Structure 1
Amino acid sequence: MNYVYLEHEPRRCDVKVDTGIAANDRNDIAEGLSRVLADTYTLYLKTHQYHWNVTGPQFRSLHLMFEEQYRELWAATDEIAERIRALGEFAPGTYAEFTKLSSIQEDNTVPSSDQMVKNLVKGHEQVVKTARDLFKVADEAGDEVTADLMVQRMQASEKTAWMLRSTVE
């Protein structure tokens, strides 16, 4: 079977949104949210992979901790995507889109349990950086809802990174 793959720009919504945020600001915020979504989804997938594949003396504790973390990340992806939609834009939802937008790299191998933890620390720190960049844009545009969502994401990822760092110190 031959497959044809088409590259295309993200679809734009043609719906009128009048909530007090300028259209160009909504677009910039939606683009930033798309990057946060891509980072969050990529980190979710990485965390879930580690949950499945962790081995070693800390297996049980890491297996359970990774499950707790990927469940939280999964819920976050929905909140972020729904915020994009509330701003009147379509949310990215394909691996190809996430790969283009994410600043978090996928793994090509299954790392050791200690390396898994270190990789997840880096991933959560990157989510914080991406969210922090968007927070500034949302705050300047008067988008308190997105700014609040970014505060929640930064808080969750900073706490998770701290807990992960504490397991390998």
Structure 2
Amino acid sequence: MAPKKRKPVPEKLRTPANLNRNDTVSVAEALNRVLADSYALYLKTKNFHWHVSGPHFRDYHLLFDEQAAQILLVTDLIAERVRKTGNVTLRSISDISRHQTIRDNDADFVSAKDMLEELRADNLALVEGFRAVKKAAGDAGDNATEGVVDDWTDQAEQRAWFLFEAGRGA
């Protein structure tokens, strides 16, 4: 489902920014997409943390919890970056669902191996989203966003790597 076009920023929420307003809108849209995907990935990771089962239960349970905490920390940084550009961010679960590209997993049972593979793919999809943010920020001359997104990309790549290595023997 395509996200709705954003309304203008309400006067009371306007944050002064020294970037071109039209340019910051494209950066904010890209940031809001990765924010929605980050929330979707956070919830999926917590879901798998709660429901993992099998011989590597403890290792996967702890890995998923650690990764979920890291993802949740980044969500606040992404949202604050949107606000710093003078724009508004997501407001609700339904707003998140309108913007997310990472699919939910509501299955009654998912094998540990499938959990690892799905989370790895989702983290790599998030990396692609961060690359789109970096491009939009570069096009807008938004050096701050362009720089900070590198750390978020590295974290998602590391999570994907850990999930890949953990899944080798699964």
TM-score, structure 2 normalization: 0.90
Task: Give the equivalent residue in structure 2 for 1:112.
Answer: 111
Report whether the alignment pairs 1:132 with 2:131.
yes
| Larger deviation, residues 148-157 vs 124-133 | 148-157
Check whether the contact 2:15–2:84 (CA below 8 A) recurs between aligned residues: no
How many Å separate the matches in 1 of 2:121 and 2:94?
A: 22
| One of 7, 30, 33 as aligned partner of 1:32 | 30
Q: 1:159 to 1:56 in 2, by over 3 A?
A: same
Of residues 61, 70, 78, the one that matches 1:72 is 70
Question: Are the equivalent residues in 1 in contact too, given 2:27–2:133 (CA < 8 A)?
Answer: yes
Three-state SS of the structure 2 residue aligned to 1:120 is helix
Does the 8 Å CA contact 1:51/1:66 hold for their aligned counterparts?
Answer: yes
Q: CA shift at 1:17, angstroms?
A: 2.0
Structure 2: any 5+ residue segments left out of the alignment?
A: none
CA distance in structure 2 between the aligned counterparts of 1:24 and 1:101, rounded to whole angstroms: 20
Q: Deviations over 1:47-94 (max 9, x none)?
A: 011111101001000000111000000000000011111111221031
Aligned residue in 1 for 2:161: 162
Contact 2:15/2:85, CA 8 A, preserved across alignment: no
State the identity as a percent: 32
Q: Is the 8 A contact 1:13 1:89 kept in 2?
A: no
Aligned to 1:4: none
Q: How does 1:85-96 map to 2 (within 5 A)?
A: 85-96=83-94
Match runs of 1:46-85 below 5 Å: 46-85=44-83
Given that residues 17 and 84 in structure 2 are in contact (C-alpha distance below 8 angstroms), is that contact kept between their aligned partners in structure 1?
no
What is the aligned partner in structure 2 of residue 149 from structure 1? 148
Supply the AA of the counterpart residue of 1:49.
N
Distance 1:49 1:13 in 2: 36
Q: Secondary structure at the match of 1:82?
A: helix
Letter in 2 for 1:23: R
Residue 10 of structure 1 and its aligned partner are, at CA, apart by 4.4
Query: Unmatched 5+ residue regions in structure 1?
Result: 1-7
2-structure distance, mates of 1:38, 1:158: 18
Output the CA distance in 2 between the equivalents of 1:47 and 1:106.
10
Amino acid at match of 2:71: L
Residue aligning to 1:43: 41
User: Aligned partners of 2:39 and 2:148: how far apart in 1?
Assistant: 16
SS state of the match for residue 31, structure 1? helix
